[in-house]
Structure 1
Amino acid sequence: MADLLVGIDLGAGSLKTSVIRADGTLVAEAAAAIATSAPHPGWSEQDPRDWWRAVCETVPRALAAAAGAGTVAGISFSAGAHTQVLEDADGHIIRPAILWNDQRSGAETRELREQADARILEIGANRANPTWTLPQMLWLRRHEPEAFARVRRLYVAKDWLRAQLTGTWETDLIDAVGTLMADTRTGSWSEELCAMIGWPLDTLPPIVASKAVVGRVTAAAARATGVAEGTPVVCGTSDTAVETYGAGMTSEGLGVIKLATAATVSVLSRHPRPDFKVINYPHVMPDHWYVIAATNSCASAHKWLRDTFFLHAGDDSGGVFTRMDALAGNVAPGSEGLFFHPYLNGERSPHWDPLLRADYVGIGFNHGPGHFVRALYEGISYSLRDCLIALRGQGLDFTTARLTGGGARSPLWRQIVADVLNVEVEVPAVADASFGAALLAGVGVGVYADEHDAARAIKVVSRLVPDPERAALYARGHVIYGDIQAALAPLNHRIHDFVSGR
Structure 2
Amino acid sequence: MTGPAEDAWLGVDLGTQGVRVVVVTSGGRLLGEGSSPLTSHRDGDRHEQDPEEWWRAVCAAIGQARAAGAELRGVRGVAVDATSGTITLLDRSGACVTPALMYDDGRASAETEQVNAAGTDQWAKAGYRRMQRSWGLPKLRWLLTRFPRAAEDGWRLAHQNDVVNRRLVGHETPTDTSNALKTGADAADVTWPEEVLAALGVPRAVLPDLVLPGTVIGRVCAQAADETGLPEGTAVIAGMTDGCAAQLGSGATALGSWNSVLGTTLVLKGVTEELVHDPHGVVYSHRSPTGRWLPGGASSVGAGLVAREFAAADLSRLTREAAALLPTDLLRYPLVSPGERFPFVAPDARGFASREPVGEAESFAALLQGTAYIERLCFDYLDMLGAPTDGAVVLTGGATRNPVWNQLRADVLRRPVTLPRHAQPALGMAVLAASTHGSLDRAAATMVRLDRTIEPRDSVADQHQDGYLRLTELLARRGWLPHPVAAHARERTAS
- Note whether the superposition's TM-score is higher than 0.5: yes
**Residue of structure 2 aligned with 1:450, choices 433, 436, 439:** 439
Question: Does the CA-based 8 Å contact 1:125-1:272 persist in structure 2?
Answer: no
Which of 65, 86, 96 is the aligned partner of 2:99? 96
Aligned twin of 2:340 = 347
**Cα distance in 2 for residues equivalent to 1:161 and 1:71:** 21
How far has the Cα of 1:55 moved from its partner?
1.3
Note if contact 1:5-1:74 (Cα within 8 Å) is conserved in structure 2. Answer: yes
Query: How far off its partner does 1:363 sit?
Result: 6.3
Distance 1:116 1:193, change over 3 A: closer
Residues 11-410 of structure 1 mapped to structure 2, 5 A cutoff: 11-40=15-44, 42-67=45-70, 71-89=74-92, 91-106=94-109, 108-110=111-113, 112-113=115-116, 116-123=119-126, 126-140=129-143, 145-147=145-147, 149-150=149-150, 152-168=155-171, 169-179=173-183, 181-260=184-263, 262-275=265-278, 276-284=281-289, 286-296=290-300, 298=302, 301=304, 305-306=306-307, 310=311, 323-331=314-322, 332-333=325-326, 337=330, 339-344=332-337, 346-353=339-346, 355-356=347-348, 358-362=350-354, 364=356, 366-368=358-360, 370-396=361-387, 397-398=389-390, 400-410=392-402
Residues 124 and 183 of structure 1 are in contact (CA less than 8 Å); yes or no, is this contact kept in structure 2? no
The CA deviation string for residues 384-407 of structure 1, in whole angstroms up to 9 with x for no partner, is: 223212211122212530112333
Q: Which amino acid aligns with 2:400?
A: A
Kindly state the Cα deviation for residue 437 of structure 1 after the two structures are TM-superposed.
0.7
Do 1:18 and 1:434's aligned partners in 2 also have CA atoms closer than 8 Å? Answer: yes
Q: How many residues align?
A: 466
Q: CA deviation at 1:104?
A: 4.4
User: TM-score with structure 2 length normalisation?
Assistant: 0.83
Match of 2:463 among 468, 473, 478: 473
Compared CA separation, residues 475 and 260, structure 1 to 2 (3 A): same
Query: Is the contact between residue 13 and residue 36 of structure 1 (CA under 8 Å) also seen in structure 2?
Result: yes
Q: Name 2:408's counterpart in structure 1.
A: 416
Report how far residue 379 of structure 1 moved: 3.6
Q: Distance in 2 between matches of 1:362 and 1:401?
A: 29
Any gaps of 5 or more consecutive residues in structure 1? 312-319, 491-502
Q: Structure 1, residues 348-372: CA drift from partner, whole Å, max 9, x if none?
A: 223334x34653535636232x455
Compute the displacement of 1:423 (Å). Answer: 2.5
Identity level (%): 28
What amino acid sits opposite 2:466 in the alignment? R
The verdict on how the C-alpha distance between 1:328 and 1:199 changes in structure 2, with shifts beyond 3 A counting, is farther
Unpaired runs of 5+ in structure 2?
Answer: 481-495
Alpha carbon RMSD of aligned pairs, Å? 3.1
Q: 1:462, CA displacement in angstroms?
A: 0.4
Describe the shift of the 1:52–1:367 C-alpha distance in structure 2 as closer, same or farther (beyond 3 A). Answer: farther
Per the TM alignment, residue 126 of structure 1 is displaced from its structure 2 partner at its CA by 4.8
Q: Could you say what secondary structure the match of 1:269 adopts?
A: coil
Assess, with a 3 A threshold, how the Cα gap between structure 1 residues 336 and 149 changes in structure 2: closer, same or farther: farther
- Write the deviation string for residues 33-81 of structure 1: whole angstroms up to 9, x where unpaired: 43444311x5544332333332122111112213458632221111232
**2:483 corresponds to which residue?**
none
User: Aligned pair 1:462/2:452, yes or no?
Assistant: yes
Q: 1:499 is matched with which residue?
A: none
**Distance (whole Å) between structure 2 residues aligned to residue 375 and residue 11 of structure 1:** 31
Distance 1:417 1:408 in 2: 10
> Is the CA contact (8 Å cut-off) linking 2:339 and 2:348 kept in structure 1?
yes
When residues 338 and 19 of structure 1 are mapped into structure 2, their CA distance, relative to the original with a 3 A threshold, is same
Task: Tell me which amino acid in the other structure corresponds to 1:57.
Answer: A
1:475-494 paired onto structure 2 within 5 Å: 475-485=465-475
Shift of 1:189: 0.9
On the 8 A contact 1:7/1:436 being kept in 2, the answer is yes
Pair 333,100 (structure 1): closer, same or farther in 2 beyond 3 Å: farther
Give yes or no for contact 2:31–2:71 (8 Å, CA) kept in 1. Answer: no
